[in-house]
Amino acid sequence: MGFETPGESFPGSAFYYLEDAPQAVAADLTAAPTGAALPDAQNGGGSFIAGPAARSLRVAGSLTDQARAQQCMTQAIYYEAASESDAGQRAVAQVVLNRLAHPAYPSTVCGVVFQGSERSTGCQFTFTCDGSLARQPSAFMWGRASRIARQALAGAVYAPVGLATHYHTLAVHPYWANSLDQVAVIGAHQFYRWRGAAGTSPAFTGRYLGGEPAPGRAAALMAEADAGPAPDPASPLALGEPALQSSATVASHALSTGTPSAPETPAAEAPSPVPGAVPAAARGSRLPGGGAIRAEYARSGSWRTEPGKD
């Protein structure tokens, strides 16, 4: 086992091989009224409603598209869920794919992952703008995340998270948590989907057309041109809104100005660095100015005084 291999083990590494059962139950979305509060599975109140599984979405295209999509998906899995079981990592990958299939979000893997990271606030995956990318990844754990990424991009579906497009760690209670429908608790993350029609299967009409931007700022700018700022999860999202009418292809690389920043979608805290060689796929993928946690993220992960309020 990897956690018994000299040079590849560290305290707690055996945890990576534990498969945690998702605290969710698949059910038809009509089983609960739209917007109804769902019971809390962790506190003995019942089970969350995962709803229908996402459709299979295969990410293919040019060799450049495949390489960039693989890198961005691996980065998301590694920096968001390196300390999770395979189930936890597959859940994160499914959220990226669900956003890719939803017209409110960019139509590329790198666009989804780096959306908002060029702004002072508004990054959708915290690791893209808090300095985490400057931390050297473990070659062993990067390889594990890369394997999960390949499976997801090849069309694998992780059904327990259903059509979830948002998640946060169990250590925080973001302002938007009560505005979305809870789907599941998997490992250290709680997952959510949009309420109403925007969170049902017919809304996920997107298909992968290629055109992956380079990871980093280029992907953030392309995401802005493709789908605009990410919608605020605290505001209802209705089909037919401008945010859901984005083009499936990118027509411009220009970054729009004067648009209010979208609130950040909290994600997992980056894992502590583990000594190891940097794999080739991880080189050249760091954001400029990385290496330190930015001031606006200094209190990331702390409990709010009044959960559920801004």
Segment 82-126, tens digit of pLDDT: 999 999 999 999 999 999 999 999 999 999 999 988 877 778 998
Q: Is 53 a domain residue?
A: yes
Residue of higher predicted confidence among 147 and 236: 147
**What total of structural domains would you count in the chain?**
1
Cβ neighbour number for residue 62 with a 10 Å cutoff:
11
Report pLDDT for 13: 43
Q: Is 267 a domain residue?
A: yes
pLDDT value at 193 more than 50: yes
Average pLDDT over residues 182-194: 94
Report pLDDT for 297: 57
Q: Is 55 a domain residue?
A: yes
SS3 percent helix, strand, coil of the chain, rounded to 5, is 35, 5, 60
Report pLDDT for 250: 28
Q: Residues 57, 94: contact at Cβ < 8 Å?
A: no
CB-neighbour burial class of residue 192 (10 A; exposed 0-12, middle 13-18, buried 19+):
buried
Q: Is 200 a domain residue?
A: yes
Give the DSSP letter string of 134-157: GSPPPHHHHHHHHHHHHHHHTT--
The values of phi and psi at residue 170, to 5°, are -70, -10
pLDDT value at 254 more than 80: no
What is the residue range of 190's domain? 48-233+259-278
Instruction: Give dist(CA 240, CA 142) in Å, integer.
Output: 39
Average pLDDT over residues 266-281: 38
Q: Is 127 a domain residue?
A: yes
Q: Which of 19-28, 76-85, 243-252 has the lowest mean pLDDT?
A: 243-252
List the one residue out of 294, 239, 254, 250 whose CA is nearest residue 270.
Answer: 294
